Amino acid sequence: MLAGLDIGTSKATCVVAELDDDGELVISSVGEASMRDGVRNGLVVNLQQVSETVERAIEQAELVLPWSIDSVYLSISGEHVRGFAGRGSVSVGSRNEGGASVVSAEDVQRAEEAARAVSLPPGCIVLDTVRRDYAADSFERLRQPPLGLKAEQISARIYTVIADRVAVDNLISCVEEAGREVAGMIPAAVASGRAVLTDDEMEVGVASVDMGAGTTDLAVFRDGSLAHLAVIPMGGDLITGDLQALRISRENAEEIKREWAAAVSSKVDPNKTMKVSRLGGRGTFTVTHSVVSQIVIDRYVEIMEAVADELARAGFRPEDLPAGMVLTGGCSRMLGARETAGDVTGLGVELGRPDSFRIATDLVASPEYSTASGLLPLAMSGDGETGISGKRIVGEIVEKLRDLFGKVR
Ligand SMILES: Nc1ncnc2c1ncn2[C@@H]1O[C@H](COP(=O)(O)OP(=O)(O)OP(=O)(O)O)[C@@H](O)[C@H]1O
Ligand SMILES: [Mg+2]
């Protein structure tokens, strides 16, 4: 049995899966509890509230299980979760021989170490390191280490994901306060990508974009592995907030956003109007579909521009991502979300939901559950074939952190 826990800005979700006789993961239970304001842009700001919410989500998942959930794989988000691409090159064999030598495991290890040697910003820890590819002399993008080949020089490319240590510890504390252990941590962007992308898409180049309430988690995959990761501290809460400026309650704003407004101008109906109650019960007034939708579009475009900027900064042009963007998270449900995301970023956009499970998919078949359900296959595969992220490395980090904080406290 494996349990994944996603502590999102609007809700905590616990997804439990078991292995069936064929060795496939089958979702057996899902628990969810809504978060009030204990998480802001992916960061814990109220430990008590978050740990209570976590407990409720886990207890709900436990209701249909004959056992209790003692440990969970945890997603981690927030702007502090970032990645660096590193490349390390070394000469093969001993230098005075000159010419090409046979590449040894030790040469590969030296190249990997050099690629890992990114200097960590203060207060950060390494969440994960992903081996991307190798080069031997003029042969680039080799999937496997060039062991046994003759070469003069080899290099390794490694993508390192880091996070703020304090934010990580706060997140772990929420789970421990709820009486459970953290078995490992996986970046939310990577988990969502794993849940909604196909192997083919990850191979040719694709961006997974999970737009939630407080964060937009971006992960780019190319050649089958993680090539870039970033978290933009903006999400659907901003759109709801903008609509509230019409002097309506948060509930009304949320409802208008979900049920009525359009996020693309071609779906705006200039003749449509709606009566809404003024904040504080001060009567009603009429809003037009055009006005409301324009508010939504403006903010949504801003968030998608931030995604496009991030991709451009990291050096990804639309032609580098032939599989385009797969959009998921609660905000992918907005009317016209796909079209506007495509217009702004210049990428072909598809909507993604978790569907990598054979049975009981209806339990998690919504874009809000992408992160939680992607945790499970990653936890199971470890740092394996997909080369994206895994339990072994993150598990060790949690151990190390615990030792570290155990000493400090
Ligand atoms: N039908 C809908 N139309 C528009 N927006 C929606 C719809 N359903 C949900 N949302 C929005 O999606 C957001 C919640 O998405 P999600 O559950 O993925 O976020 P989260 O995981 O809690 O937050 P985050 O990942 O940002 O920390 C909210 O802003 C909500 O208003
Ligand atoms: Mg989320």
Residue-level pLDDT at 409: 33
CA 294 to each of CA 39, 257, 290, 332: distance values in angstroms, whole numbers, following the listed order: 28, 11, 6, 17
Strands 150-151 and 284-288: unpaired
CA distance 215 to 183: 24
pTM: 0.92
CA distance 162 to 226: 14
Residue-level pLDDT at 286: 96
Q: Put residue 203 in one of left, alpha, beta given phi > 0 → left and psi -120 to 50 → alpha.
A: alpha
CA distance 288 to 293: 8
Looking at the CA of 332, which ligand is closest? Answer: 1
In degrees rounded to 5, what are phi and psi of residue 286? -105, 135
Question: E strands, 147-205, where?
Answer: 150-151, 153-164, 181-187
What one-letter code names the amino acid at 149? L
Distance of CA 280 to the CA centre of its chain: 38
Token pair 């797969």: residue: 326
Domain map of the chain by residue range?
82-164
Residue-level pLDDT at 405: 45
Residue nearest ligand 1's atom 12 by CA: 330
Distance 330 CA to ligand 1 centre (A): 3
List ligand 1's pocket residues with C-beta within 6 A. 8-11, 42, 77, 212-215, 235-237, 240, 254, 257-258, 329-331, 333-334, 368
Distance 408 CA to ligand 2 centre (A): 31
CA of 237, closest atom in ligand 1: 29
Give per-residue pLDDT as tens, 214-230: 999 999 999 999 999 99
Q: Do 6 and 371 touch, CB atoms closer than 8 A?
A: yes
For each of the chain's 409 residues, which pLDDT tens digit applies? 899 999 999 999 999 999 888 888 889 999 999 999 999 999 999 999 999 999 999 999 999 999 999 999 999 999 999 999 999 999 997 655 668 899 999 999 999 999 997 788 899 999 989 999 999 999 999 999 999 999 999 999 999 999 999 999 999 999 999 999 999 999 999 999 999 999 999 999 999 999 999 999 999 999 999 999 999 999 999 999 999 999 999 999 999 999 999 999 999 999 999 999 999 888 999 999 999 999 999 999 999 999 999 999 999 999 999 999 999 999 999 999 999 999 999 999 999 999 777 666 688 889 999 999 999 999 987 643 333 344 444 445 555 555 544 443 3
CA distance 88 to 139: 15
CATH architecture of 82-164: 2-Layer Sandwich (3.30)
- Protein residues near ligand 2, an ion, with CB under 5 A: 8, 212, 371
In degrees rounded to 5, what are phi and psi of residue 373? -80, -25
Alpha-helical segments (H) within 197-235: 199-204
CA of 368, closest atom in ligand 1: 18
Q: Which helix (H) or strand (E) holds 404?
A: helix 391-408
